Amino acid sequence: MDAMTTAQPEAVAETSPASWENQIAELLASLSQVQGDLLNLLEEKRLALAAGDYQELQRFTLQETELIQRLEACHAQRQSLLVAAAREGLPSGSVQSLAQALPADARDKINPDVEESRRRSRLLQHHSLTNWVVVQRTLIHLSQMIEIIATGGRMKPTYGKSDSPIDSGTLVDHSA
C-alpha cells in the first residue's frame, strides 16, 4: 500500500505549469460559454417578464435546467482542479489564487480570463437581481388587483366597527 501512496503523489507532482495553465484555461472557457448563455437567457427573461409574456417564460424552464447542469459541471471541474492543486501544495482557495501561482508568462495569459469571469459573475448577479425585482413588483401588482376585486374597490376603514354588507367583497356571498 505504501508503493501506491508514493506512486500517486509522484504522478500528481508531475503536473507542469503548462498543464495547470491548460486546465485553468479549459475551465474558464467552459465557464465563459455558460455565463454568456446565461446572460442572454436572463436578458430574454427580463424582456418577457416586462412584457408579461408568461408563455415565453415557460419556454425558459428547459433552458434554465440545461444551464444549471452546465454550471454544476463547471463547479465540479473547479473543485477537482482546486483539490489537485491542494495535493501539490499549490494555492487552492480559488482559481484566481491558483492562477497567481503560475509562472509570469502563464499568469499573464490567464489573468484577463479570470478577471472577465469575475466581471461576468457580477453582471449575472445584477441581471438576476433585476429580474427578481421585476417579479416582486409583478407580485405586488397582482396582489393589489386581487384585493381590489375581493373588496369591490372599497377600502375598509382603519378605525371603527362596520359590519355593513357594503364593506364585503363581491366574490363572497354576503351571508357567508
Domain that holds residue 134: 16-167
Q: Please write the tens of the pLDDT for every residue from 39-80.
A: 999 999 989 888 888 888 888 888 999 999 999 999 999 999
172 occurs within a structural domain: no
Number of domains composing the chain: 1
3-state SS track over 54-95: HHHHHHHHHHHHHHHHHHHHHHHHHHHHHHHHHHCCCCCCCH
87 occurs within a structural domain: yes
What are the φ/ψ torsions at residue 48 (nearest 5 degrees)?
Answer: -65, -40
3 occurs within a structural domain: no
- Rounded to 10 degrees, the C-alpha dihedral 163/164/170/173 comes to 70
- Eight-state DSSP code of residue 144: H
Closest to 90 in 3D by CA, of 148, 169, 13 = 13
Q: 132's torsion region: left (phi>0), alpha (psi -120 to 50) or beta?
A: alpha
82 occurs within a structural domain: yes
Amino acid making up residue 144: Q
Residue 33 and residue 71 in contact, taking contact as beta carbons nearer than 8 Å: no
Measured between its terminal Cα atoms, the distance across the chain in Å is 79
5 occurs within a structural domain: no
175 occurs within a structural domain: no
CA atoms of 118 and 111, how far apart (whole Å): 11
**Ordered per-residue pLDDT tens for the chain, 176 residues:** 344 333 333 333 446 778 888 999 999 999 999 999 999 999 999 898 888 888 888 888 889 999 999 999 999 999 999 999 999 899 989 999 999 888 889 889 999 999 999 999 999 999 999 989 988 988 898 888 888 888 877 776 667 665 554 545 555 555 55
CA atoms of 153 and 15, how far apart (whole Å): 72
Can you read off the three cell numbers belonging to residue 99? 492562477
4 occurs within a structural domain: no
